[in-house]
Amino acid sequence: MTDVEQNLRSELHIAAAEYELELDADRLLEAGRSARRTRSAHRMVLGLILALAISLTGVVAAPRIVAAILEKQTVEFTEAFSWNGTRAEFDQFTARLVDEDGVNRLTVTAYRDQKEVAAVTQELPGTGASRFRLGSRTVVAVFPGEVASLDIVSDASHGTQLSWASAFDRTIAIGMFFEPVKAPEGLDWLWLDGAGTLRHADDAPVPSATITLNGVAHLVYRNDRTDELGLWQWSRFSLKDYAETDLLHGGMSRQSDSGSVSWQDGVLPVGAHDVQVTVSRPDGAWGSAVLPDGTVVVLATVPVETDTIITGFSYLRADGTRVSHGR
Amino acid sequence: MFAASAASRDSEFTEFVESATSSLGRTAYLLTGDRELAADLVQEALVRTYVAWRRVRRGEALGYARRTLVNLNIDRWRRRPAVPAESVDGVAESGESSVDDRDQVVRALAALPAQQRRVIVLRYLDDLTEAGVAEHLGISVGAVKSACSRGLAAMRRAAVLTEEESVR
C-alpha cells in the first residue's frame, strides 16, 4: 500500500469513527423472524398468482400451488400439474419439510388421479444443495437458501414445468420434464439468492454483472460449466463456435402489451476495453460489463421488433489495437 | 427440541449483531453520507442475514452482511439520483467554519461516482483485498484497480481544492 493509500485509509477510519450505530438486537430478531415468515408466504402466494396468470394466457396449463404452513416446524405444499396429464407419471405432489432440532427431512409424495403412487424421504445435508429423482421425469431439488428466482439451464429444460417454495431457509423445487432424466445431478440449475448473487445449484457463484439500460437493470452471466452467455430470465446461448461479429446479426425480440423490444448480447475477447457500439435506432441503448472471470459482455436493446439491433462496434484489444466491425 | 435449536441460532445471531453493527454502520455511513439512511441499510442487511442465517457459514457472516448491505445500496442508487455532495448529512448547511477534516472526507466520497465510492470504502475502510472487493461487487479485479486509481485521484483533487478555498 502506498503512502497515499495509507493516508486515505487513515482518513476514512477517522471519518467513520464519528458514526457509532447501536441497534436493538431483540427488535432486529423480531424483524428477522417476521421477514422469514413473510417471505415464505410471499413465495407461495406469488406461485399462485403466476400459475393463474399463465393459465389465463392459454399457453400452458401451469402448475398450481396449494400451500399451507401447518405448524412452526413443518411446511407443506402441493404441486398439481394439469399440463400434459396423459403423459405425466404424476399430476400432483406433496412436499413435506420437517425441521427437528436442526435436522431437515423432506418427504415428497407423488399422486396420479388422486392416488398415491410414489413417495420418498430424504434427510437433507446440513449445507449445500441436493437433488433426487422421483419416477423417471421428475426431479426434486433442494437449494441452500431462499431463492429469489430460479432457472434450469440445460437442454433437458425444454418442456419443463418448474415450481418452488421456501421454508427454513431452504428452497424446494420440483421440476417435471418431457423426457426421462437419467442423472438429476447433471442438470444445471441456476438461482439468484436474496443478496443478488447468481449461483449454481451447489452454491458456487456464477460470473455475472448488471448492465443498466434505460433505467432497467439486466443481469448478464457466463455459465462457466455449459459455456453459455445468458441474460437472466430472458435468454441464453452457447458460446461454442461463437464469433464476435455475431453481435451484428440476429438478436431476440419480444412483444407485450407495453410494446415490443429487441435485444442482442455477446462477448468480446478478454482484455477488450474502450468499447463503442452503434445501435440501429436513436432510442436504443447499449452497455458493457466485465464479469469477474474477465469475460467482456455487450448488451444492446431497441424498443421495436427487429433483427438489426447493433449496426457497428469497436473496441481496443488488450495490446491497444483498435478492432472495428460494421458501420 | 426445535425451540432449543432456534434459541441457539438466535443467540449466535445476537452475538453477531453486537460484534458487526459498528463495522457495518461505518461502511454504510461512508457509502451513503447519511446517518439515518446508513442505519436503515444496516438494519435491512442484518434482517436479510438473519433470514439466511442457516446457510451463512460461521466466519463469513460479516462478509455476507456487508455484501447484502452493498447490494441494497446499489438498488437504492438505481431508484433515485445520487445525493448531491452539497447536501451530505447537513454538512453544507453547517457552513465553512464547521467543515472539519472528517466532513471533508465524507463529502469528497459522496462526490465520487457510486462504483468508485464502493470500491474505495471496501478497499480502504474495510481493508478488503482487491480480489475481495471484486468478489463483493461482482466485478473484475481490473475494474477494482481502475476504480481505485480514479477514486484516489479524485479524492486528492478534492482535498487540494478544499485547502485552496480555505486559504482564501
B-contacting residues in A 62-121 (Cβ below 8 Å): 72-73, 99-102
Please indicate whether, in this complex, the C-beta atoms of B47 and A35 are within 8 angstroms of each other: yes
Give yes or no for a contact between A219 and A201, defined as CB atoms under 8 angstroms apart.
no
Q: Which of B59, B81, B103 is the last residue of a domain?
A: B81
Task: Mention every residue, 6+ apart, whose C-beta is less than 8 A from residue A178.
Answer: A84, A87, A137, A158, A159, A160
Give yes or no for a contact between A223 and A154, defined as CB atoms under 8 angstroms apart.
no
Q: Is A169 on the interface with B (CB under 8 A)?
A: yes
Neighbours of A259 (CB within 10 A): 10
B76 and B110 co-located in one domain = no
Residue B97: CATH number of its domain: 1.10.10.10
| Between A156 and A243, the higher pLDDT residue | A243
B120 and B92 co-located in one domain = yes
The domain of B114 spans 86-168
Q: Considering its fold, how many domains does chain B have in total?
A: 2
Q: Is A145 on the interface with B (CB under 8 A)?
A: yes
Residue B55, all three cell numbers: 446457510
Q: Which of B81, B111, B134 is the last residue of a domain?
A: B81
Looking at residue A28, the DSSP 8-state letter turns out to be H
Confidence of residue A298 (pLDDT cuts 50, 70, 90): very high
Q: Is A38 on the interface with B (CB under 8 A)?
A: no
B168 and B90 co-located in one domain = yes
Which chain A residue's Cα is nearest to B148? A5
DSSP string over B93-162: HH-GGG--HHHHHHHHHHHS-HHHHHHHIIIIIS---HHHHHHHHT--HHHHHHHHHHHHHHHHHHHHHH
- Please report the pLDDT score of residue A161 as a whole number: 67
Q: Is the confidence at residue A12, as pLDDT, over 50?
A: yes
- Please report the pLDDT score of residue A79 as a whole number: 58
Give yes or no for a contact between B72 and B44, defined as CB atoms under 8 angstroms apart.
yes
| Between A229 and A187, the higher pLDDT residue | A229
Which chain A residue's Cα is nearest to B65? A195
- Please report the pLDDT score of residue A163 as a whole number: 75
| Between A286 and A181, the higher pLDDT residue | A286
- Please report the pLDDT score of residue A240 as a whole number: 78
Give yes or no for a contact between A139 and A175, defined as CB atoms under 8 angstroms apart.
yes
B71 and B19 co-located in one domain = yes
User: pLDDT tens across A140-190, in order?
Assistant: 888 887 787 787 766 554 446 677 777 777 888 888 776 678 777 777 788
- Please report the pLDDT score of residue A87 as a whole number: 57
B59 and B96 co-located in one domain = no
Q: Is the confidence at residue A273, as pLDDT, over 60?
A: yes
Residue A184, all three cell numbers: 438429476
Tens digit of pLDDT at every position of chain B (168 positions) = 334 466 777 888 899 999 999 999 999 999 988 888 888 888 888 888 887 787 676 678 898 899 888 877 765 554 333 333 333 343 333 333 333 556 778 888 888 887 888 999 999 999 999 888 888 887 778 888 888 888 888 888 776 334 443 333
Q: Is the confidence at residue A17, as pLDDT, over 60?
A: yes
Please indicate whether, in this complex, the C-beta atoms of B102 and A21 are within 8 angstroms of each other: no
- Please report the pLDDT score of residue A300 as a whole number: 95
B34 and B77 co-located in one domain = yes
Q: Which of B52, B81, B110 is the last residue of a domain?
A: B81
B26 and B95 co-located in one domain = no
B60 and B128 co-located in one domain = no
Q: Is the confidence at residue A314, as pLDDT, over 80?
A: yes
- Please report the pLDDT score of residue A76 as a whole number: 58
B91 and B66 co-located in one domain = no
- Please report the pLDDT score of residue A10 as a whole number: 87
Please indicate whether, in this complex, the C-beta atoms of B47 and A39 are within 8 angstroms of each other: no
Taking the CA of residue B18 and the nearest CA in chain A, the distance in Å comes to 8
Orientation angle between helical segments B141-167 and B101-111, nearest 10 degrees: 130
Taking the CA of residue A198 and the nearest CA in chain B, the distance in Å comes to 10
B29 and B73 co-located in one domain = yes
Nearest to A5 among B4, B103, B152 (CB): B152
Tell me the mean pLDDT in the region A11-37. Answer: 80
Q: How high is the mean pLDDT of chain A? A: 76
What does the buried/exposed string (b/e) look like for A203-242 if buried means 16 or more CB atoms within 10 Å of the residue's CB? beebbbbbbeeeeeebbbbbbeebebbbbbeeebeebeee
Tell me the mean pLDDT in the region A240-257. Answer: 75
Taking CB atoms and an 8 Å cutoff, what residues of chain A touch B47?
28, 31-32, 35
Taking the CA of residue B152 and the nearest CA in chain A, the distance in Å comes to 8
B110 and B164 co-located in one domain = yes
Taking CB atoms and an 8 Å cutoff, what residues of chain B touch A100?
1-2
B125 and B77 co-located in one domain = no
